[in-house]
A and B are shown apart, each in its own frame.
Chain A
Amino acid sequence: MTATADPTTEVAPPRPPSRGAPHLDEAQLEALAADFDAIRRREMADRGEADAAYIRRVAAVATALQVGGRVAIALGRRRPVFWTGVVAAAAGRIIEAMEIGHNVLHGQYDWMRDPRFDSTTYEWNQTAPAEQWRHAHNVVHHVNANVAGFDRDLGYGVVRITDDEAWKPSHLGNPIAATLLAVLFDQAIGFYDLEAERMALGLVDPDEADAKFRASMAKLRRQAQRDFVVIPLLAGKAAPRALAGSLAAQLVGNVWGFAVIFCGHFPADTVIFQPEDLDDETRGRWYVRQLRGAANITGSFPFHVLTGNLSHQIEHHLFPDLPARRYRHIAPEVEEVCRRYGLPYNAKRFSRQFGSVAWRIVRMSFPDPMRPSRRRAAAAGGSPGA
């Protein structure tokens, strides 16, 4: 829409094009926003019985897998039984964290007013206290998605993901840092909202950090006590096997969560944005940033469930509070909108996306003065550091 300018006021200089869609003008960006808004409105209005039945069924399946898996582990004197148990327990745990916990904490099911899926009271089965997660994820990550220096999920403060972060010799350990993060993903995220990298810069209120640390420790203790003390003790003579099963299920869950989440934002062709992109960001530019900062993983229905539908990271970032089971259904339409506006829709199979992420982690171990953003910064005469 064109505003009728008051001749006495100064005309603002035209703003630079959207970093994620430089070929679109403001009117086209507005039309894009209207198209996505229409999808959002329609899907939100359509929420109902099917979504409620789905999430209840998923909750029952996740519980059954975990309980059944634990029993199989305890009874698993034979290896196939034991490993079946580990896989089941890990799958149940993954589904509970990703398809239920993550999505409930986005408020996707608040409309049901079911106390079991209420974002204001739900405490999820992960180390991070739900309240801290909602801040670190819903606020810091989603609102600032893929903005260098603002979105802490760009490397989680331990992995160098973009050359907007100045290279240091310690980044030579980038692949090791990423591997450690993968192995301890749940536990590390448990303390993520402490914002250690900002604490080091004196940007965090020490009292608040202290309270968060205590809450995370308490939650970590409860989670560990359940998985590594109570469950093995209940297994009686099978205690060592139950402990091994708990550790294995936890490890599988951690590595899987890491892999899916790293595939969501860091494959090649995802765009890293700059802080100035957030200034007076229009709805259209917001959609472009969410869209260009995310990548999908193609796969089967069970695969999507096991990723908590984060395999549809693009749809999730466009509509974070829409029940995630709908992402699959609207994906073709979102892709069609992208095609119409000449925007890439980054969807590839898991091996391609993960390989691309792994290569990026390795590449970012090393300094490279001629990476695009350095050239950009050099051209602007600014400092390349984030």
Chain B
Amino acid sequence: MSPATGSVHAPARDRVHRGLRRLLETRVVGALTSPHGIDHYLVAAGVGWATAAPPARVVAASCATPGTITLTIRPAPGWRGHAAGQHVAATVPVGGARRTRCFSIASSPHRADGLVELTVKANGTGGVSDHLVRRAQPGDPIELSPAAGDFVLPAERPPHVVLVSAGSGITPVLSMLRGLVDEGAGGAVSFLHYARTPADVIAGDELAAVARRRPDWRVVVVLTGAARAAAPGRSRRGGGPAAGREPTGRFRPDHVEALLPGAAHAPAWVCGPVGLAEAVVAAWRAAGSSAPVHVERYALGLGTPAGTTGARVRFTTSGVETADDGRPLLVQAEACGLSPAYGCRAGQCHSCVRRKPTGAVRDLRTGDVTDEPDALVQLCVSVPDGNVEIDL
């Protein structure tokens, strides 16, 4: 077993919990607490913590830029860490419900204290993001899933890594940049970030510090909203390829040659709006580059555009996959030869409720779309809204 992440007290606490559990897992206790089990009663009595592993907790919350919050979190013991660029599903109570949303981790995977940093942007939907931005405080519990995602650097670092991001899409590539700093990476790194105004640059001071520490790297911030660009790296280094006429506005192919000469021939990792990813790919191809451009789609919350059919529907337990034909998920599952439990087929009886690990579904009765990971879904009245996974 690897030691628990991020807490020096974890081994002692684990021993206490294991001892308590042994006491509580005897047959007498099992028979006495049937059919719910002892945990049900401990939670009902408000002492669920006595035997459960302590949850992850927020240890610091700061308002980094307008409309965002940066949370520093101590993961639960046993959380297995992350690779730079990966995301976690964070679950918090919102309005009486446990609600979940995925966030890219912004911190370096090599942090000595084992803490994890997430930067969350309010999106006005009243969901997890808004709740965290408005309410998160040190001490709050927050459940973190294991880190996941293949938007990561190869184990053998390329000689030149290009990282491009815009707005809150900075988080996974910031994790990569921080990781490369901690590794003392010998290769070249080109970091290009777009933000509206200087105040909107997440971790702006740190980017400037990295630029000072690694003069061999290029760390550039382009402002899209104001008239003038501020480049923490470039302003220190003075001059540069585009001295005298700083690029501004959204990503354009000529930004690459102006700011990061030669970058188009190195592999790139891009996170931001769909338009940014497409533009970077186009720029790489226009430069005659065959270097890969990796795009983090997850942070944007899309697999395929919502509302189209032909999206992928995956039934996780059976491993069956099909193309969405627009019919209710129950019908589609049956068309795949699966035989899920069902009752009324009209949304009344809840016999066909299943867990939905990822993706979005639309309720045929209300038109409401649920994109929350792990929501419980009535298959008979739900149709996919883009790619979706169902535990079936």
Partners in one complex: yes
Contact (Cβ within 8 A) A60 B45: yes
Contact (Cβ within 8 A) B96 A112: yes
Known: A59-B44, A60-B45, A63-B41. A138 touches B95 (CB 8 A): no
A162 is an interface residue with CB less than 8 A from chain B: no
Could you jot down 24 A-B contacts, CB within 8 Å?
Answer: A44-B366, A48-B95, A51-B96, A52-B97, A59-B44, A107-B353, A111-B97, A112-B96, A112-B98, A113-B99, A116-B40, A116-B43, A125-B35, A138-B344, A138-B350, A139-B351, A143-B343, A143-B349, A222-B31, A223-B35, A225-B31, A234-B32, A320-B348, A321-B348
Least CB separation from A114: chain B residue: B98
Known: A107-B350, A107-B353, A138-B349. A112 touches B97 (CB 8 A): yes
Residues of chain B contacted by A111 (CB below 8 angstroms): 97, 376
Residues of chain A contacted by B375 (CB below 8 angstroms): 113
Residue from A51, A56, A119, A125 in contact with B350 in the complex, judged by beta carbons closer than 8 Å: A119
B355 is an interface residue with CB less than 8 A from chain A: yes
A53 is an interface residue with CB less than 8 A from chain B: yes
Contact (Cβ within 8 A) A135 B35: no
Q: Within the assembled complex, what's the spacing in Å between the Cα atoms of A102 and B34?
A: 17
A195 is an interface residue with CB less than 8 A from chain B: no
Least CB separation from B28: chain A residue: A230
Q: Within the assembled complex, what's the spacing in Å between the Cα atoms of A143 and B350?
A: 11
A50 is an interface residue with CB less than 8 A from chain B: yes
Task: Kindly list 14 other residue pairs between chains A and B, CB separation below 8 angstroms, not including A116-B40, A230-B31, A320-B348.
Answer: A49-B95, A107-B353, A107-B376, A110-B376, A112-B97, A113-B97, A113-B375, A118-B376, A119-B353, A138-B350, A139-B351, A142-B348, A230-B28, A320-B349
A292 is an interface residue with CB less than 8 A from chain B: no
Q: Within the assembled complex, what's the spacing in Å between the Cα atoms of A199 and B230?
A: 80
A101 to chain B, nearest CB (A): 10
B327 is an interface residue with CB less than 8 A from chain A: no
A291 to chain B, nearest CB (A): 15
Residues of chain A contacted by B35 (CB below 8 angstroms): 123-125, 219, 222-223
Residues of chain A contacted by B354 (CB below 8 angstroms): 120
Contact (Cβ within 8 A) B44 A60: yes
Top 7 closest pairs, chain A to chain B, by CB: A52-B96, A139-B343, A107-B350, A138-B349, A48-B95, A113-B98, A49-B96
B46 is an interface residue with CB less than 8 A from chain A: yes
B145 to chain A, nearest CB (A): 14
A106 is an interface residue with CB less than 8 A from chain B: yes
* Count of chain B residues near A, Cβ 8 A: 34
Q: Within the assembled complex, what's the spacing in Å between the Cα atoms of A225 and B35?
A: 11
Residue from B348, B350, B366 in contact with A110 in the complex, judged by beta carbons closer than 8 Å: B350
Q: Residues 228-246 of chain A: 1 if any B CB is under 8 Å from the residue's CB, otherwise 0?
A: 0111001000000000000
B36 is an interface residue with CB less than 8 A from chain A: yes
B371 is an interface residue with CB less than 8 A from chain A: no
Least CB separation from B366: chain A residue: A41
B36 to chain A, nearest CB (A): 7
B296 is an interface residue with CB less than 8 A from chain A: no
B385 is an interface residue with CB less than 8 A from chain A: no
B117 is an interface residue with CB less than 8 A from chain A: no
Q: Residues 312-347 of chain A: 1 if any B CB is under 8 Å from the residue's CB, otherwise 0?
A: 000000001100000000000000000000000000
Residues of chain A contacted by B366 (CB below 8 angstroms): 41, 44
A134 is an interface residue with CB less than 8 A from chain B: yes
Q: Residues 37-49 of chain B: 1 if any A CB is under 8 Å from the residue's CB, otherwise 0?
A: 0001101111000
Residues of chain B contacted by A53 (CB below 8 angstroms): 96
Residues of chain B contacted by A142 (CB below 8 angstroms): 344, 348-349
A47 is an interface residue with CB less than 8 A from chain B: yes
Contact (Cβ within 8 A) A60 B46: yes
Task: Tell me the chain A residues, 79-129 only, with Cβ under 8 Å from chain B.
Answer: 106-107, 110-114, 116, 118-120, 123-125
A16 to chain B, nearest CB (A): 22
A33 to chain B, nearest CB (A): 12
A23 is an interface residue with CB less than 8 A from chain B: no
Task: Tell me the chain B residues, 235-260 only, with Cβ under 8 Å from chain A.
Answer: none
Residues of chain B contacted by A124 (CB below 8 angstroms): 35
Contact (Cβ within 8 A) B343 A106: no
A198 is an interface residue with CB less than 8 A from chain B: no
B245 to chain A, nearest CB (A): 53
B374 is an interface residue with CB less than 8 A from chain A: yes
Q: Residues 333-371 of chain B: 1 if any A CB is under 8 Å from the residue's CB, otherwise 0?
A: 000000000011010111101110000000000100000
A226 is an interface residue with CB less than 8 A from chain B: yes
A32 to chain B, nearest CB (A): 17
Residue from B44, B349, B376, B378 in contact with A113 in the complex, judged by beta carbons closer than 8 Å: B376
Give the one of B40, B96, B376, B378 with max A CB within 10 A.
B96
Residues of chain A contacted by B351 (CB below 8 angstroms): 134-135, 138-139
Q: Residues 188-217 of chain B: 1 if any A CB is under 8 Å from the residue's CB, otherwise 0?
A: 000000000000000000000000000000
Contact (Cβ within 8 A) A120 B376: yes
A377 to chain B, nearest CB (A): 28
B61 to chain A, nearest CB (A): 21
Q: Within the assembled complex, what's the spacing in Å between the Cα atoms of A51 and B366?
A: 21
Residue from B34, B95, B97, B346 in contact with A223 in the complex, judged by beta carbons closer than 8 Å: B34
Contact (Cβ within 8 A) A48 B96: yes
Residue from A44, A113, A135, A230 in contact with B32 in the complex, judged by beta carbons closer than 8 Å: A230
Q: Within the assembled complex, what's the spacing in Å between the Cα atoms of A210 and B46?
A: 40
Known: A53-B96, A113-B376, A114-B98. A63 touches B44 (CB 8 A): yes
Q: Within the assembled complex, what's the spacing in Å between the Cα atoms of A49 and B3?
A: 37
